[in-house]
Homo-oligomer: A and B are copies of this chain.
């Protein structure tokens, strides 16, 4: 396994076209696009890594997997009154579908859906309380208490996120938001600004590998059915309008983030985290 990872990292290091970093979030635009990390966490507890697996990066939309898991825990299937579970067929920030469907987002992984999930799990609490709970949950999943939020990234997004503000106000205009929009968006941007390295991320995904139980810690996180369902949702629309492409080529449930990370789950085998900011 280590040999395979090393070979992949070596191949990548020889590539000159490393893509482009997201330039619409100032803090992310400054990240060096030539970096690369890859970690594979096994149910046995072994973690194999290659590249800069200790380098923290912004998990961005990958965090939506964790808030969705929290939301299903708090609300169960009643979450689906707030957000659908069909592919959107549109880019991550499209508003067209929202108008046709009266402010109910298609699924929890497009931005509008993820904002609705935050609103749904806030339940009258302050953003700080919600974020504390979320960080605690992710630390528990990854068995690592050092995970935190990168405040600079969160503020950077807050200042430039006109599209997300538009989506949130749009849902509010249909009476679909329960809390103050600025509070919800503040929490959402902080959630996206969670910083992890590829080892931590791979370990945090382990509960989706072994039917809802983190096989390393032995803790049950969700039921086997729920783990299977979260995997189905990741496979269906974990990559917005590139989900079909990813399912066709890779065939694994996965969730991408604009920070360059991807979490992929090979059921019963491994949790895989990749980071390539470009």
Contact = CB atoms under 8 A, between A and B. Distances in A.
Contacts of A242: 86
A139 interface: no
Contact of A169 (B88, B98, B169): B169
Contacts of A97: 89
Nearest to A168: B166
A258 to B, nearest CB: 15
Nearest to A233: B248
Contacts of A235: 232, 235-236, 247
Interface string A146-177: 00000000000000001101111110110001
A64 interface: no
A262 interface: no
A244 interface: yes
A269 interface: no
Interface residues of A, number: 45
B162 A166 contact: no
A98 to B, nearest CB: 8
A10 B166 CA distance: 46
B163 A166 contact: no
A76 interface: no
Contact of A170 (B163, B172, B228): B163
Contacts of A232: 235, 247-248, 251
A94 interface: yes
A67 to B, nearest CB: 17
21 contacts: A85-B248, A86-B89, A86-B242, A86-B243, A86-B244, A87-B243, A87-B244, A93-B173, A95-B95, A95-B170, A96-B96, A96-B99, A96-B100, A166-B172, A229-B248, A232-B247, A232-B248, A233-B244, A233-B248, A236-B244, A236-B248
Which 7 pairs show the lowest CB-CB distances between chains A and B?
A89-B89, A87-B87, A166-B169, A163-B173, A86-B244, A162-B173, A166-B170
